[in-house]
Amino acid sequence: MSGKVKFIVEITSCLSTGVCLSDGSEIDDKSEIWSDLADCCSGGDCQEACQYVLSKYDIDFRIVARIDGKYRNVAADRSHKKTFCGGVYFESETDFADEGMADMYIVWEAASALMNC
């Protein structure tokens, strides 16, 4: 166990994200996680702020996938992340096959959705 605070970022095939604590509860808007995610979309170059979030927290990237005819919430793998980022940032020339880069863009998208920015 890493000792880092853990939270979940769920990506969807509809190209949206959701963020919650590991127990499924909402992230409090007065919490440190909220504040750190807000920094990811506060304007300008967000890379440093998003990299900080990735290094500080243990993020569980999840996706609802159809497996054997049933929908299940499973860990998002490299291909899920690449497909998601390619769909959201389709005009970008970024190599989303680089999982670290994909993670950063997903954190940015999740922060933007959470903050409505």
Q: What is the mean pLDDT of residues 48-58?
A: 96
Q: Residue 46: which pLDDT band, with cuts at 50, 70 and 90?
A: confident
Domain segments of the chain as ranges: 6-115
List, for residues 14-37, the tens digit of each pLDDT value: 899 999 999 999 999 999 999 999
- The predicted pLDDT at position 1 comes to 52
* 5 in Cβ contact with 57 (< 8 Å): yes
pLDDT of residue 13: 84
Write out the two tokens for 25.
Answer: 């509860």
The pLDDT, as a whole number, for residue 44 is 73
Give residues with Cβ within 8 angstroms of 46, minimum separation 6: 39, 40, 108, 111
pLDDT tens-digit profile of 65-100?
888 999 888 999 999 999 999 999 999 999 999 999
Q: Which amino acid is at 49?
A: A
Q: Which of 8, 99, 18 is nearest to 58 (CA)?
A: 8
| pLDDT surpasses 90 at 2 | no
